[in-house]
Structure 1
């Protein structure tokens, strides 16, 4: 650090996100000639403690210490640093355990952005000043209840306390406190009692994530006033209610997760003419829904009817915050995230591509036949109808869902043959029709050469590879020619090699990378 502090007029220094190790001052007590920084970016600099020279900084506007390895407690002097000037403090992903002197109220009077995420903080979360716009405190060990004072944060846009040990009842005032709030994430805590009831007209909420708590009661009908809502997760709670038809007014909704609650009753078609035209992911698995799958309801999911990629983008809430004293306007975004069972594995999506589409209706009591309208959802990558009471034959139109990577129809009462049209699903990586009443030859070739025996278990009438039972009737319907398929479905695949189970079109958000292939192969982008 010596080479920089000699520059006495230096006020802006960014060293973040390199492969650097920042060394402390050789003479840390010699502070009289230190420059006064206004912006200081020291993220990912292999720091193991707070730099001593920060004790003398009283003009900082921007301080980034994220993704270091700073241990122990936050020192007492941190609260006296740049008391009136600090707008942004980023401590994301360190090894801090708490506060030397735990403050109830944070001292920075003009703070706009505070990130305390991914640390080991304990106790009650400290309360920032009313100027705060973005408060991130996920992945800690905060305990107790959310103080009522958080309801007085009139400028807050993002409030994220996900993955902590907070409990008690979610303050009712959060639903009516501030019309500026865009993101409320309380996922994975120990909250109990009802969902806040008094959601106001004109609110700007785009994301509400209350999943994985112990919430009870019914969903408040006032949530229909959240007209800007794009992401709603109430999964893994103890909500006892019927299907929330009244949410149909949320025309911007993209993600709906009601998984693992006590929802019940029928989902009748015809309740509304248009329901969730922008919906891309719906997970209502592990509930008590009954009746037929609502055919006309599926018809209204317009966004799922096509797969169109101009550029890769993530589902997120975007915003700006203005640092007037520094003359800075900083754009930022909050990426939506979710947990979803995909290909039999519970997967954490830290980012969600706009083109990702999934329907999970499994583990309910749906009956009747699979509606033909399912064939209109051309953008689907994941379809899970397992563990229901579905009857009839597998619709041949499923063979037109050429984006499918995972299809699970297991544990139903389906009968008849497996349609040979399913051979056209070149990107299918997981296929499961086990424990039905299917019969006849298993389609051969292409992806069907990659599925294990377990995909067909419990169907005594099936025969052919990979099963040991040979078929007496080998006159299965021949597959269509490639030209016929292209004419009918408007795809121009120039490469039709068997993909050997790798599902080369897969979109997996595991943080390792993304692979995207368009079906006309005009471009092929791989980013790691």
Structure 2
């Protein structure tokens, strides 16, 4: 028997559940049930219950801590988006999907969780969990496909995988305090599509050895201690399916590796086959930000990414003229090159970008007239701020003015904060709308409004929920 009482405005657990011996599926999600989970509920139909959803309530604790669930056949449990405190509850070994994110759980992960021999998806993210990630958790890689531990307080090294067979598709351990190098055993995981190690204290060189993972689409290493040159994989296999990469801010040295742009064929997808791109639904977690900070000049190979819709190279040290080959990006909607050292005139070729909605070249060293045709008539002063050598609409300075000022240097952070009318604190790249595609590469700060960022993150969340069902 299945009982669905989700979103029914309940404020407590229905007591008639105590008499339901044939109950197999129970949904009490998104009600107003608050406080401690009653002890009698933990004994409801312990022999037959297969599915339990208590998410989206105001539950605070269980009668015991720690607690081991008694449901012997429970295959899926969702307790996310509550206010649960204490230790992570431990289900029986038969559990396949276990979601308990967005609570207030604390302490370390009990080694008992490593007994989940059938687990495929586990999400403990957005809690206050501490301690090290248990080494024994890596033994589950033979069944585990999705492991999300992000936004906790884990310390120590990321465990090496012990299993000879790895089923992992997604790993997200971002926003913790993890240290040490990346575990080289990840090269066993041929199914990996999503890797997020961002915002930790990892110290390592660029993991070119991950380039042999033929399914890897997302690689996020931002805000760590990665250092040195970004070198090629010895066997020449270099991330053939990569669609999102985030390496900033780390301590990489050398030039922007243009050879990678030539070999990232997944970013050159034809319009006739969009399903191979990341816009085709895959289970991505929202909230990550994507940017990339390096130095050097704009690689011409970017011009081959025909389906690019967002290009952000802001806040780097790019020099030289603004490259005309950007006009080849005919589907480009947002172009942000602010806070660099670009010089020369804005190429007239860029007026061919008829889909361009956002254009920002502020705080560079550009000179000469601003193009006055096509989309350029829609851009405001902030798009060109900090380039005293520019002239023409929408600036007040006319191009006939003989008193030319020297090109300006990028402004300080204080100048940006006081003069910019757009928000620069959101970094987003390569996002799929429910009705289409948004393809992008961000190597700096994405120029995108907070409202749009929230809407895109919500689309990701909806896609994740659909796939869980």
TM-score range, shorter chain: 0.7 to 0.9
Q: Does 2:231 align with 1:231?
A: no
**Which protein has the bigger helix share?**
2
1:139 is aligned, of 96, 102, 115, to: 102
- 55-64 or 127-136, which moves further after superposition? 55-64
Alignment check: 8 A CA contact 1:305 1:377 kept: yes
Alignment check: 8 A CA contact 1:76 1:99 kept: yes
**Taking CA–CA contacts closer than 8 Å with sequence separation of 6 or more, which of the two structures ends up with the larger relative contact order?**
2
Alignment check: 8 A CA contact 1:274 1:300 kept: no
Task: Look up the match of 2:420.
Answer: none
Task: Look up the match of 1:436.
Answer: 364
CA distance in 2, matches of 1:190, 1:415: 44
Alignment check: 8 A CA contact 2:286 2:460 kept: no
Q: For this pair of structures, how many residues does the alignment match? A: 411
Q: Does 2:342 align with 1:410?
A: no
Inter-CA distance 360–101: structure 2 relative to 1 (3 Å threshold):
closer
CA distance in 1, matches of 2:90, 2:387: 60
Measured after TM superposition, the shift of residue 67 of structure 1 is 1.5
CA distance in 1, matches of 2:270, 2:309: 10
Inter-CA distance 429–84: structure 2 relative to 1 (3 Å threshold):
same
Unaligned runs of 5+ in 1: 1-37, 317-334, 342-358, 474-500, 515-528
Measured after TM superposition, the shift of residue 275 of structure 1 is 1.9
- 217-226 or 201-210, which moves further after superposition? 217-226
Alignment check: 8 A CA contact 1:391 1:414 kept: yes
Measured after TM superposition, the shift of residue 313 of structure 1 is 6.1
Q: SS at the partner of 2:321? A: coil
Task: Look up the match of 2:399.
Answer: 471
Measured after TM superposition, the shift of residue 396 of structure 1 is 1.4
Unaligned runs of 5+ in 2: 402-446, 462-469
Inter-CA distance 295–513: structure 2 relative to 1 (3 Å threshold):
closer
Q: Give the 5 Å matches for 1:200-211.
A: 200-211=163-174
Q: SS at the partner of 1:248? A: helix
Task: Look up the match of 2:436.
Answer: none
Task: Look up the match of 2:303.
Answer: 375
Measured after TM superposition, the shift of residue 51 of structure 1 is 1.2
Q: Does 2:44 align with 1:81?
A: yes
Q: SS at the partner of 1:114? A: strand
Q: Give the 5 Å matches for 1:297-446.
A: 297-306=260-269, 308=271, 314-316=280-282, 335-341=283-289, 360-362=291-293, 364=294, 366-367=295-296, 369-446=297-374
Alignment check: 8 A CA contact 1:370 1:395 kept: yes
Q: Give the structure-1-normalised TM-score.
A: 0.73
Q: Does 2:124 align with 1:161?
A: yes
CA distance in 1, matches of 2:85, 2:372: 57
CA distance in 2, matches of 1:395, 1:188: 39
Q: Give the structure-2-normalised TM-score.
A: 0.82
Task: Look up the match of 1:295.
Answer: 258
1:352-379 deviation line (CA, Å, top 9, x unaligned): xxxxxxx7323x4x22x21110011122
Q: SS at the partner of 1:304? A: helix
Q: SS at the partner of 2:219? A: strand
- 125-134 or 270-279, which moves further after superposition? 270-279
1:430-489 deviation line (CA, Å, top 9, x unaligned): 32222222111122233323333222222222111222221139xxxxxxxxxxxxxxxx
**Which protein has the bigger strand share?**
1
CA distance in 2, matches of 1:426, 1:120: 49
Measured after TM superposition, the shift of residue 307 of structure 1 is 5.1
Task: Look up the match of 2:458.
Answer: 511
1:129-185 deviation line (CA, Å, top 9, x unaligned): 000000000000000011111112110000100000001111122223341000000
Q: Does 2:384 align with 1:456?
A: yes
Alignment check: 8 A CA contact 1:199 1:225 kept: no
Alignment check: 8 A CA contact 2:208 2:232 kept: no
Q: Give the 5 Å matches for 1:273-284.
A: 273-284=236-247
Inter-CA distance 238–447: structure 2 relative to 1 (3 Å threshold):
farther
Alignment check: 8 A CA contact 2:141 2:161 kept: no
Q: SS at the partner of 1:168? A: strand
1:214 is aligned, of 172, 177, 180, to: 177
Q: SS at the partner of 2:367? A: strand
Measured after TM superposition, the shift of residue 502 of structure 1 is 11
Asked which structure has the greater CA Rg, the reply is 1
CA distance in 2, matches of 1:510, 1:427: 23
- 420-429 or 89-98, which moves further after superposition? 420-429
Inter-CA distance 201–453: structure 2 relative to 1 (3 Å threshold):
farther
Alignment check: 8 A CA contact 1:391 1:413 kept: yes
Inter-CA distance 142–270: structure 2 relative to 1 (3 Å threshold):
closer
Task: Look up the match of 2:214.
Answer: 251
